[in-house]
Structure 1
Amino acid sequence: MKELFRQSIKWSFSIAVITFVLAALFSVISNSTLSGVGWTIGMVIVLIIVLVGIFFDMLGIAATAANEVPFHAMASKKIAGARHSIVIIRNADRFANFCNDVIGDISGIISGTASAIVVLQLTLNFHYEQGSAFELVVSVIFTSVVAALTVGGKSLGKTFAIQYSTDIIFQVGKLFYFLENRFNIVLLKENKGKNKKNRNQNRK
């Protein structure tokens, strides 16, 4: 119990630091990019940010919904990405935490900030003053559209992730395999204790 608690604290601290760094990085990139483009391009950038959040949310759901059993046969045949897919599923809690909470929440925050910048650009482009009724109406409409796209997109993504969880995780596994073999980048390490527990559950 103490070891589990210690690992949980260590992971929580690590993910908090990663979130801080990524949030700062994405915020700087999005703000600097939006400051140099028009409101039409700004809308496209906001849409891209929303889609990134939806995509990673789908990956996190797929990891929690997928079953590792189909990948054992692939791994026995030495199919690229099968072993990495198993590792992802066995670490579904951490994988989903990163995809849904870190990237997903950061995308939501950044898209809100980016939306405010786009609304301001749009207001100034049509020669209205800040705080005018025009800015208020545009802000409400644009924010509502972004929120609707985010919620609707994540709802559709969840359905797709549950339905095709095996295929989705296999593609991610192949990406992990490529990164490890080509660039020696290991994104998830195999947890021996967790593996033993999962194998015992599969035998039952």
Structure 2
Amino acid sequence: MKESVRKSLRWSTMIAVITLVLAAVFAIVSTSILSGVSWGFGMVIVLLIVFIGVFVDTIGVAATAAKEQPFHAMAAERLPGAKQAVQITRNADKFANFCNDVIGDIAGVISGTASAYVVLRFSLQIGYEEGTTIQFLISVVFTAIVAALTVGGKSVGKTLAIQYSTEIIYHVGRLFYFLEVKLRIVIFDGKKRKKQKKHNNKKKLRK
């Protein structure tokens, strides 16, 4: 089996496990929060989940659209976050996969489940039991609104991501810089990549 295929399988397995854990955590948290609030506040929470999905999707698209060169120039000027931005663009496929497919899809699923709960609470409050025609119409309207906001928001986000990809990824790089310096959390290890590159070059020379 080729090394690229093995790496792809390892990444796919890891991302599947991460998705499983994050989806469970988000579902538990959102359900716990919604269970004790009114339908109005629940609607705000649903809109917040939609916004998170759109926001993260925008960052993922920006990573695939951004170029390395501007960040190399920033790194030469020792701007904080520039090196991290370089690593994001070099790992744009994995970064976008995590943002768009993991967080984005989880947000979509959770927002759908949360909206169904909010609709049920609203229907009961105005005097319509579950399964009635009015409750069904409310559910359809609210689901359509959430879907429209999600799709429309992602459309706007993609436009902004392409036009301002450098600025967006630089700000994400600054966040990663803060995580590395203050919290010692390394998202992308550039040093490890350099060591691997040197190792591969030595193998080629031996051949």
Residue 45 of structure 1 corresponds to 45
The alpha carbon displacement at 1:96 in A equals 0.1
Secondary structure of the corresponding residue to residue 129 of structure 2: coil
Deviations 1:119-157 (A, max 9, x none): 110011112111011110100000000000000000000
Provide Cα deviations, 1:16-65, integer angstroms capped at 9, x if missing partner: 00000000000000011111000000000000000000000000000000
Give the whole-Å Cα distance in 1 for the aligned partners of 2:123 and 2:15. 38
Work out the CA distance in 2 between the residues paired with 1:151 and 1:97: 18
Can you give the 5+ residue segments of structure 1 that lack an aligned partner in the other structure?
A: 197-204
- The answer to whether structure 1 residue 101 and structure 2 residue 86 are counterparts is no
Q: Deviations over 1:81-103 (max 9, x none)?
A: 00000000000000000000000
C-alpha separation in 1, matches of 2:195 and 2:115: 45
Q: Gaps spanning 5+ residues in structure 2: where? A: 199-207
**Paired residues of 1:90 and 1:194 also in contact (CA < 8 A):** no
Identity score, percent? 61
Question: Is the counterpart of residue 60 in structure 1 residue 43 in structure 2?
Answer: no
Size of the aligned set, in residue pairs, is 196
Can you list the C-alpha shifts for 1:144-186, whole angstroms capped at 9, x where unaligned? 0000000000000000000000000000000000100001001
Distance 2:179 2:173 in 1: 10
Q: In structure 1, what is the equivalent of residue 36 of structure 2?
A: 36
- Separation in structure 2 between the aligned mates of residue 189 and residue 101 of structure 1, nearest angstrom: 22
Matching residue of 1:117: 117
Higher mean displacement: 46-55 or 73-82 = 73-82
Q: Runs of 4+ in structure 1 displaced over 2 angstroms?
A: 189-196
- What's the TM-score once normalised by structure 2's chain length? 0.92
Counterpart check, 1:179 vs 2:147: no
Q: Decide whether aligned partners of structure 1 residues 193 and 62 sit closer, same or farther in structure 2, where only a CA change above 3 A counts.
A: farther
Report the Cα offset of residue 195 of structure 1: 7.6
**Take 2:44 and 2:62, find their aligned partners in 1: how far apart are those partners?**
27
Mapped partners of 2:137, 2:93: distance in 1: 41
**Cα RMSD (Å):** 1.4
Task: Give the whole-Å Cα distance in 1 for the aligned partners of 2:60 and 2:130.
Answer: 40
